[in-house]
Chain A
Amino acid sequence: MPRYLVERTFPEGFSIPIDASGEKACLSVVANNGEGGVTWVQSYVSDDKRKTFCIYDGPSPEAIRRTAARNNLPVDRITQVRVLDPYFYR
């Protein structure tokens, strides 16, 4: 399954409360992802919380967008990526 880097912009910053409602929000994202056949691997969030860079596994860019819409998340750009690390050539 291809891996994608999904860039998102949150003009007002991004916040997930560290309590039950935050957990609920994250779980609902995971459930919606499951229906769309995509997996949220992890995300990197900028210091000002206005940009996120999210790693997803999914069948197609359309599935990524559909799931994002279901989760009310913006999408700026989707790039298909591969893992490269310092030991790649070893």
Chain B
Amino acid sequence: MKAAAIELLERDAELRELSGLLESARSGEGRVALVYGEAGVGKTALLTQFVRAHAQDARLFWGACDPLSTPRPLAPLLDIAWSQGGQLAGRISAGAPREAIFQALFEELRSPRRSAIVVIEDVHWADEATLDLVKFLGRRTQRTSALLVLTWRDEGIRADHPLRAAIGELPGQVLARIPLRGLSPAAVESLGAKSHRSTEGLHAATNGNAFFVTEVLASDAPGVPLTVSDAVLARATRLPPQARELCELASVVPSRVELPLLEAAAGPTFAALDELLGSGILSLDGSAVAFRHELARRAIEGALPPLRSRELHARVLTALRARGEDPAQLARLVHHAAGAGDSASVLRLAPSAAEHASRLGAHREAEAHLSMALRHAVDLPPRRRAELLEARAYECYLTDRMQEGIDSCSEARALWNRIGERAREGNCLCSLARMAWYATHAEEAQRYGDLAIEVLEALPPGPELATAWALRAGAYASADENAAATPFAEKALRLARTLGNREIEAYALSMLAQAQIHLGHEPGRTHMEESLRLSLEYGFHDAAGRAYAILGQHAVEERRHDFAAKILDEGIAYAAERDLRTRAMCMYCWRSRLRVETGRWAEAVDDAARILDNPGCSALFRLAALTPLGLLRARRGDPGAREALDEALKLAKESGELERMVPVAAARAELLWLCGDAEGAAAEASAVIDKARKAQRPWFVADLAVWIWRGGGEPPPADECALPVALQLQGNWRGAAAEFERLGCPVQAALACYESEDREAMLAALEALDKLEARPAAARLRRRLSELGVRAIPRGPRAARRGHPFDLTAREQEVLAALSLGLSNGEIGARLFVSPKTVDHHVSAILTKLDVRSRGAAVAKAQSSGMLQLEEAREK
């Protein structure tokens, strides 16, 4: 039996779900389907069947990512453009910037002609630019009539795989997850029966993997072969010699080989193509051939003897080259040059490939190309090697791989020094200072910064010197030595303007602004916004990311929460779409803190997890994520608060910066107070208060002063504190509560009345804390109320009713949401873990409260009054 003839088994539910999503897309609400499972489980087969069924009623855009050693930027988009032609292909070949290319595809999808299915296969191999495309489309799909389908292998996708972050950024309401599982034993048996083979032990040996099963059934060897690789190789061995040679050649080309390329590389053996296709190992896909399964390709490639493999790569390389060195093909050229062991070609091609990738915002790929070049650079002239190292260091810096960046940059610096290129050496020192700062190596950063200035001031003034001065200004500002920062920033700004260097101008301007904001000087924010505008206008991506991050940080520190939320959302989207990982990480930290502060706790966790789930991230970001996470655990009464804040404290001390120390100290004080140790809280805050007062930062002083006061210590004068805490210290707890409420700090607003003895206010605060599920704070307030002799203290969160138009309890709202899905009482009961009888009781209560007769009427009324969010119901 031919493997190709296998029918699709046990995929009806998945096909129905995909069709449902397409239906929704057709009605103008685009969707994203995530189809994933292990290699060989049948993702491609499922989608092939699905698009075949909709060949008439939907346009198809199909692209795939390939497993090149360093992926080709935007490979799937190139596939799509290649098959579609039109505006998209035009823009790509004209070298349009990638925003314009993305936009062209989006326009294409939005065009109202017919709904569209966009398939991007194997996104676990996607380059950064493709992931950015996924984010770009994912965020906009809802406004199109398109169904975007992403497939990937979920085995071995680690927590820090960039794909996870990309998926995490897609809007939840458009996503549908379709995990594919292996075939059932019954399905395996039925396949075996059709091919008249015994399937004893087959399900266990293959775990139901459709590919394995198919391959094993297609092999003539008796019984179950030990491994599928054996099965594949056995089949290849039976091919006639020419077909086998062709098969081996095709195996060194990841994913698919265009026929002209295969012909050019194969020479006379190309004549065996029909035979090879007839074997079913490869199949024809448009004007290219591809292995029916990637596993088979790898099995064959992996079995090639090393010299044979080199020779085959060399043949593909020659054939590719003969077609001209199209920038879009550079990654492929590098892959085959490396495979062929052709160092000279790698060295020539990889840097261009890196440049191309970097321009497209695929910084991780750019870094990989440069590393590849460096591995092949055995005896390169020092100048050339230093250039490669410096370029690699920059890509590492952008993508938050500081230690690797520091290693490359140190080597580059030594080389520049040796050949007497002092300006380039100075530039490397600036980069080293910056990266050491992210690694919280404060002293090292300082030392590199000093050296940079020393080296560059001895030379005629140039852009490197302006950078070094701006960097020094930034270091002073971060250390809250703001008066010292200003003259350096101003010098840098003047020099940048004299040189006409807009990028350094934007940088210097933002450093000046940072110092001014810290000093409370009015033009600070204006300057920062000006720097952002300048960077956006000229496309200085990293500088724009920095400006967003600084604006967001100050807004969070000063509790300007609405602005903070807006600027951070905008900045994160900007950085994420351009693979500016360092900037994005920084902003996730600040947004996490914003969300802890404003009571959006579940989302705060998501932001912090982006940093903490990634073991390679910079120490500075780890610190900035551990702080809100520790505070959140403290506020929820969850374990691990102390551990998170201990580690944060250690890192904050290493950084030596006030702006890192204050949030950690304040969070630790709050934790201790919540655990009943008020004196400890005061001590924790007192340890940093002098530095905060010296820096004259009213919010820093306030964040600490409140715990010193609450713990019975000697707080600083009220007029040094930001408003709500100043009011609190003056005994005006009502004013403090109102101000915290206005700023959107629900926990602090509730705690403001703790010392007041005003029972009514305290009961109201208790309700607010219960609603937030701030258990330890609520427990303290309960204890205080009972000390004051209050008898009727609500027992717990569940006694509190959320403000609801029809006064429905939380449980009734859940039942109502389930009713809108048309579930029976039994189903609702199973979902909410209560008996159907209890559900019935809730339904009656809902009908009474909504004043309606039937379940249907209740749902209709709830929807028309806007209290039942459709998305919410659908998600549950």
Binding site for B on A (CB under 8 A): 2, 4, 9-17, 21-22, 24-25, 60-62, 65-66, 69, 72-74, 76-80
Contacts and interface: CB of A to CB of B under 8 A. Distances in A.
B838 A16 contact: no
Contacts of A11: 798, 811
Contact of A16 (B637, B638, B639, B830): B830
A61 B638 contact: yes
B832 A72 contact: yes
Interface string B719-757: 000000000000000000000000000000000000000
B637 A77 contact: yes
Interface string B814-833: 10000000000011011111
Contact of A72 (B636, B796, B814, B827): B814
Interface string B780-806: 000000000000000010100000000
Nearest to B837: A15
5 contacts: A12-B838, A13-B835, A16-B833, A61-B640, A76-B775
Contact of A15 (B629, B811, B814, B829): B829
Contacts of B834: 10, 12-15
Top 10 A-B residue pairs of the complex, sorted by shortest distance between their CB atoms: A80-B639, A61-B638, A15-B835, A25-B830, A21-B830, A62-B605, A12-B838, A78-B638, A11-B798, A14-B833
Contacts of A21: 826-827, 829-830
B609 A62 contact: yes
A4 B639 CA distance: 9
A69 B829 CA distance: 16
Nearest to B609: A62
B633 A15 contact: no
Residues of B contacting A: mostly = helix
Contacts of B833: 10, 14-16, 25, 72-73
Contacts of A80: 639-640
A61 B605 CA distance: 10
Contacts of B609: 62
Nearest to B876: A72
Nearest to A8: B833
Interface of B: 602, 605, 609, 629, 633, 636-640, 775, 796, 798, 811, 814, 826-827, 829-836, 838, 876
A53 B818 CA distance: 26
A17 B829 contact: yes
Contacts of A66: 602, 605
A17 B602 contact: no
A9 B639 contact: no
Contacts of A13: 834-835, 838
Given A11-B811, A65-B602, A76-B796, 16 more contacts: A12-B811, A15-B834, A17-B830, A17-B835, A25-B830, A25-B833, A60-B640, A61-B636, A66-B602, A69-B602, A72-B814, A72-B833, A76-B775, A77-B775, A80-B639, A80-B640
A25 B826 CA distance: 11
Nearest to B605: A62
Contacts of A12: 811, 834, 838
A25 to B, nearest CB: 4
Contacts, number: 71
Contacts of A69: 602
A8 B832 CA distance: 13
A15 B811 CA distance: 15
B675 to A, nearest CB: 14
B838 A24 contact: no
B187 to A, nearest CB: 20
A24 B830 contact: yes
Contacts of B830: 16-17, 21-22, 24-25
A2 B811 CA distance: 31
A51 to B, nearest CB: 12
Contacts of B836: 17
A51 B826 CA distance: 22
Contacts of A73: 833
Nearest to A22: B830
A2 B644 CA distance: 14
A72 B796 CA distance: 18
A61 B638 CA distance: 6
Nearest to A17: B830
A45 to B, nearest CB: 11
Nearest to B809: A11
Contact of A17 (B636, B639, B798, B826): B826
Contacts of B638: 61-62, 65, 78
Nearest to A37: B159
Contacts of B831: 25, 72
A60 B625 CA distance: 15
Contacts of A60: 640
Contacts of B629: 62
A67 to B, nearest CB: 12
Contacts of B876: 72
A6 to B, nearest CB: 10
Nearest to A74: B798
Nearest to A12: B838
Contacts of A14: 833-834
Contacts of B826: 17, 21
Contacts of B637: 77-78
B604 to A, nearest CB: 9
A54 to B, nearest CB: 12
Most buried by A among B638, B814, B827: B638
Contacts of B838: 12-13, 15
A9 B798 contact: yes
Contacts of B636: 61, 65
Contact of A79 (B633, B639, B829): B639
B770 to A, nearest CB: 12
A64 B633 CA distance: 12
Nearest to A23: B830
Most buried by B among A4, A24, A60, A62: A62
B468 to A, nearest CB: 42
Most buried by A among B798, B826, B834: B834
B875 to A, nearest CB: 10
Nearest to A81: B639
A62 B835 CA distance: 29
Most buried by B among A11, A12, A74: A12
B109 to A, nearest CB: 29
A10 B798 CA distance: 9
Nearest to B831: A72
Nearest to A21: B830
B601 to A, nearest CB: 9
Contacts of B827: 21
Contacts of A61: 633, 636, 638-640
Nearest to A5: B639
